[in-house]
Amino acid sequence: MEKISAVDYESEMGQSYVDYAMSVITERALPDVRDGLKPVQRRILYSLSELTSSDTPHRKCARIVGDTMGKYHPHGDSSIYEGLVNLAQNWKLPIPLVDPHGNFGDVSGSGAAAMRYTEARISKYTEEACMKDLKFCKEDFIPNFDGTEMEPTYLPFQVPNLLVSGSMGIAVGMATNIPTHNLGEVIDGTIAYLENPDITTDELLDIIKGPDFATGGIINTSRENLLSIYETGLGRLRVRGKVEIRDIGHGRKSICVTELPYTMINGTEKFLNTVAELVRNRELPQVVDIADRGGKDGECLAIDVKKGTTDEEIENIINILYKKAGLEDTYGVNINCINNRKPEVMGLRKILKLYTDFKTDIYNKKYTKLLAEQQDVKEIKEGLLEAVDVIDLIIEILRGSKTIAMAKKCLMTGETEGIKFRFKGSEMDAKELRFTEKQTDAILAMRLSKLIGLEIEALKKELAEAERLIKKYTKLLGSKAEMRRQMIADMEELKKFAKPRMTVIQDLGEIKVKKAEEKPVEISVLLDRFYYLKCIDRNIYDKNVEQIQKDYRFSVNTMTDDRLIAFTDKGFAYVIKISDLVKKQAKKQSGGKGSSIFGKLSDKGIQIFEFCEMESDENVIFIDALSCIIKSNLVFVTDNGRAKRTEGAQFDVTRKKVAAVKVGDVPVMVKPAEENDFVAARSEKGFFVRVKVGDISIQGKGAGGVKLIKLADDDKLTEAEVGATTDASIGEVSFSRIKLCKPGNKGTKLRV
């Protein structure tokens, strides 16, 4: 009968999620501290070792992936192939664990060819550093997912592969990011730890200098930071690429990135696009060409500069590449790995301790088995040599026995019952025989050719060699010092695979970028009736001035380092940097490829709303360069009949939006004016007033001003103008027709 159990939903979901998380952490994402491999990597290498060796032909990757998936790793083939490719790429691993053949991608980010096209085999390094001792670890194998095969729980690396090959992975709630290290340094560091387990992390850093990336580059950090990272297992490093300045002829130079920072692998295209963006934004005005000129000799990302660019300017360009283009980046170290089936973040000393404990255990298993094997060899060789001395008796026993079992029993125990002997006394000699079972089996399998004198001498030599090895293995197993010396000797052998350090470690400090000093350029800024802004060359303006004044609401002649100030009918002033307009226009030109600061008269331009918080129903009533108004006074006239003068310098502010008049007032005119100028205004009901500018008070930005004209309750000002002489006009009315008066006058009603 089916039994239904009641469970708490919340606790069941919580436990299930924890189980899932731990499965991802231990079975997929994090490497084991013993061999530095994730399960998929271990299974790939083990499957590869079954299919190939370092001196056999390469095998199709599809076959390798299929074997791995079918026998050991029941997941998607793409994840297995990706793992195989990563183990073969020499820009990710200083010493690849897989020997590739075919297109396995490149450092710029191009992917590997499909697995049906590529081939691989186990590398010589992996074979010698890992697979030689695998046969001594068979008792630690476990059944595979369906119980039809046995797979290793670790691979017996002769060196701390966790440090040499590094690792990167994302699990549930945690991640790992372990940098690669130099094989020679890691071997020396492990030897130092074996000889002195009390060695400090600081002393180890004299041997293992720090990470050594396959792409080379520079690690910009202090020793104190490295010490902290290797003590805690956590920290951040600044990695940067190496650059060379090369002469490319005709007096021009090129900045060549010869070694990439490790963080840029698979991202060189992004780097070049970022440099191009900096050029378009005029942050790198000296750069004239950008190209990927990588060849067989390695990467070369070239940034060509203009003829005549100084060394100081080139140095500043390099600093900008470091600071803004990703040529220097942060590498987060997180040495998180599996120890005894649990994730743990650990420092350098603990890694070496756990590894050397693991290595000692492997060596004890290895030499215990080798000792047992040689003891068996000695036993058998001694039996064969003894059998040679009584070979006639053995032949007589074999000829007189009815079965092999009868002969075997006689050789082992001296039992002669049922055996017919040809010579007297042979039976008495046979009863003295006491061969062991292994010796007896070897005697029964022995060929007559072993009776030749040279073969007997070979047996004696094999016996002597077995005795020598037994003595050696017994000494190793009985002495920790001897075992340690053997470990060290084996690791020293692997130094033949070590390469010179690729990555330079220096404390170079912070990058200092000098702001580019661009010379201001004369420019004309135009605003059309649809509120589109554009910049044009001043010469174009001079040649088309009449057309521009006809077609555009405002035009301002100024310099590229100036600012625009726009006053609207809602009483606000908006400040716009012309440099922002220049950058945005340059970026927009030719689909983002142009770098000229000038546009054409036919260009559409960029809406003013993209540069300030102006509302869509606001109207610009006056616009000018800040440099033009900063030393003068501005006259404001509002529709309620008030006016004021405000110093232009008050609008030299860092804010992009400021109030220009009293809140609620509606300006009808903003213009710069001198004290001797006149300001004339016209009301809706036809009243005109003309006042001398000097009679209007100077007030602040948010002030309401003085009464310019006394208006009826149902009247308001609709128009105002400033003029230097009575020849000026407001609309069709000349200033000379309007009576000059003091502010606050009722004004004169005129027919237009």
pLDDT, tens digit, 9 for 90 and up, residues 96-139:
999 999 999 988 888 899 999 999 999 999 999 999 899 999 89
Which residues is 692 bridged to in the sheet?
678
pLDDT surpassing 90 at residue 18: no
The owner of tokens 């930005």 is: 701
**Distance between CA 589 and CA 598 in Å, rounded?**
9
pLDDT surpassing 80 at residue 315: yes
pLDDT surpassing 60 at residue 310: yes
User: Residue 308: its pLDDT value, please?
Assistant: 85
**Distance between CA 403 and CA 33 in Å, rounded?**
56
pLDDT surpassing 50 at residue 559: yes
For range 261-268, the mean pLDDT: 88
Which alpha helices (DSSP H) does 544-645 contain, by range? 545-551, 578-588, 626-629
Distances (CA, A) of 544 to 327, 500, 524, 548, 596: 46, 67, 12, 6, 20
User: Residue 297: its pLDDT value, please?
Assistant: 46
Q: Is 465 helix (H, G, I), strand (E, B) or coil?
A: helix
Q: What is the pLDDT of residues 618-631, one digit of tens each?
A: 999 999 999 999 98
Q: What is the pLDDT of residues 452-490, one digit of tens each?
A: 666 788 888 988 999 999 999 999 999 999 999 999 999
Antiparallel, parallel or unpaired: β 287-292 and 301-305:
antiparallel
pLDDT surpassing 90 at residue 186: yes
Q: Is 502 helix (H, G, I), strand (E, B) or coil?
A: coil
Tell me 736's DSSP state.
Answer: G
User: Residue 4: its pLDDT value, please?
Assistant: 78
Six token digits for residue 649: 């310098």
Region of 266 (left: φ > 0; alpha: ψ -120 to 50; beta: rest) is left
Q: Is 519 helix (H, G, I), strand (E, B) or coil?
A: coil
Antiparallel, parallel or unpaired: β 336-339 and 218-220:
unpaired
Closest by CA to 208, choosing from 238, 178, 180, 174, is 180
**Distance between CA 107 and CA 104 in Å, rounded?**
10
Confidence of residue 517 (pLDDT cuts 50, 70, 90): low
pLDDT surpassing 60 at residue 593: no
pLDDT surpassing 90 at residue 420: no
Confidence of residue 599 (pLDDT cuts 50, 70, 90): confident
User: Residue 285: its pLDDT value, please?
Assistant: 85
**Distance between CA 115 and CA 81 in Å, rounded?**
7
Q: What is the pLDDT of residues 31-44, one digit of tens each?
A: 999 999 999 999 99
For range 155-177, the mean pLDDT: 90
Confidence of residue 20 (pLDDT cuts 50, 70, 90): low
**Distance between CA 38 and CA 539 in Å, rounded?**
68
User: Residue 402: its pLDDT value, please?
Assistant: 83
Three-state secondary structure of 592-614: HCCCCCCECCCCCCEEHHHCCCC
Q: Which residue numbers are catalytic?
A: 117
User: Residue 449: its pLDDT value, please?
Assistant: 65
Tell me 56's DSSP state.
Answer: S
Tell me 524's DSSP state.
Answer: E
Confidence of residue 587 (pLDDT cuts 50, 70, 90): confident
Which of 170-179, 635-644, 732-741 has the least mean pLDDT? Answer: 170-179
User: Residue 458: its pLDDT value, please?
Assistant: 84
Alpha-carbon Rg for the chain, nearest whole angstrom, is 45
User: Residue 393: its pLDDT value, please?
Assistant: 84
The secondary element (H helix, E strand) that includes residue 426 is helix 426-430
| Chain Cα centroid distance, residue 406 | 74
Confidence of residue 499 (pLDDT cuts 50, 70, 90): very high
For the beta carbon of residue 155, count every other beta carbon within 10 angstroms.
24
pLDDT surpassing 80 at residue 27: no
User: Residue 397: its pLDDT value, please?
Assistant: 81
pLDDT surpassing 70 at residue 428: yes
pLDDT surpassing 80 at residue 298: no
User: Residue 408: its pLDDT value, please?
Assistant: 84
Average pLDDT of the chain to the nearest whole number: 88
Residues 254 and 248: beta-carbon distance below 8 Å: yes
**Distance between CA 386 and CA 739 in Å, rounded?**
146
Q: Which of 286-290, 384-388, 720-724 has the highest mean pLDDT?
A: 720-724
**Distance between CA 212 and CA 234 in Å, rounded?**
17
User: Residue 592: its pLDDT value, please?
Assistant: 47
Q: What share of the chain is helix, strand, coil (3-state, %, to 5)?
A: 40, 25, 35
Which of 225-239, 331-345, 436-450 has the least mean pLDDT? Answer: 436-450
pLDDT surpassing 50 at residue 594: no
For range 253-259, the mean pLDDT: 91
pLDDT surpassing 90 at residue 157: yes
**Distance between CA 126 and CA 138 in Å, rounded?**
18
For range 418-445, the mean pLDDT: 82
Positions of E strands within 674-740 = 678-683, 687-692, 706-707, 717-723, 729-730, 733-734
